[in-house]
Structure 1
C-alpha cells in the first residue's frame, strides 16, 4: 500500500474515532485548531529540514509527486511530501483524543470518591 493510500485511510479513521468512538469531538473546537496550527508549523520546519537535506528520503512511487525534494510543488510542502502533514494530523489528533478521554475518566473517577488516598 502506498504512503498516499495509508494517509487517505488514517485521517478519516482518526476523525471518526475522535467524533464517534472516544466522543471527545476535538476537531469541533477552536482550541484544537489553534493548538494544531502551532504544531503543524513546527512539523513543517522539522520535516523540511530532514527532507531538504536528504536525511529522510521517500520512494517516489509511494508519494504524490516525484522523488526530488523541492521547496513547494510536485506534491511537496517545505520539501516534505504532503502525506506527512496528513500523518502528522492523524497522529496528533489520536494522541490528544485518547489523552482527553483518559483524563475525563480520571476526573469522573475522582469526583465519585473512588480514587484518592485514604488517611
Structure 2
C-alpha cells in the first residue's frame, strides 16, 4: 500500500472514530478547527524544514508528485508531500479525541464518588 493510499484511509477512519466510536464529535466544533489551524501551521514549518533540507526524503513511487522537493506544487505544500497533512490530521484528531473521551470518563467517575 502506498503512502497516498494510507493517508486516504487514515483521514476518514480518524473522523469515523471521532464521530461514531468515541463520540467526541470534535470535528463538528469550531474550537477543534481553530486549534488544528495552529497545529497545521507548525506542522508545515517543521515538515518544510525537514524535507526542504533533504533530511527526510520520500520514495516518489509512494507519494503524489516527484522526488524533488518543491515549496509548492507537484503534490507538495511547504516542501512536504500532501500526504503528510492527512497523516498529521488523523494523528492530531485521534490524539485529541482519545484525550477528550478519557477526560469525560474521568469526570463521570469523579462525579459518582
Question: RMSD across aligned C-alpha pairs, in angstroms?
Answer: 0.3
Aligned partners of 1:64 and 1:15: how far apart in 2? 22
Unaligned runs of 5+ in 1: 114-119
2:31 aligns with 31
Deviation string 1:57-103 (CA, Å, 9 cap, x unpaired) is 00000000001000000000000000000000000000000000000
Aligned partners of 1:11 and 1:37: how far apart in 2? 16
Aligned partners of 1:22 and 1:74: how far apart in 2? 36
1:85 aligns with 85
1:96 aligns with 96
Unaligned runs of 5+ in 2: none
Shift in Å, 1:18: 0.1
1:14 aligns with 14
Shift in Å, 1:26: 0.0
Aligned partners of 1:17 and 1:29: how far apart in 2? 15
Aligned partners of 2:28 and 2:7: how far apart in 1? 21
Larger radius of gyration: 1
2:73 aligns with 73
Number of residue pairs matched by the alignment: 113
2:108 aligns with 108
TM-score (norm 1): 0.95
Shift in Å, 1:40: 0.2
2:46 aligns with 46
Aligned partners of 1:2 and 1:73: how far apart in 2? 20
Aligned partners of 1:3 and 1:76: how far apart in 2? 14
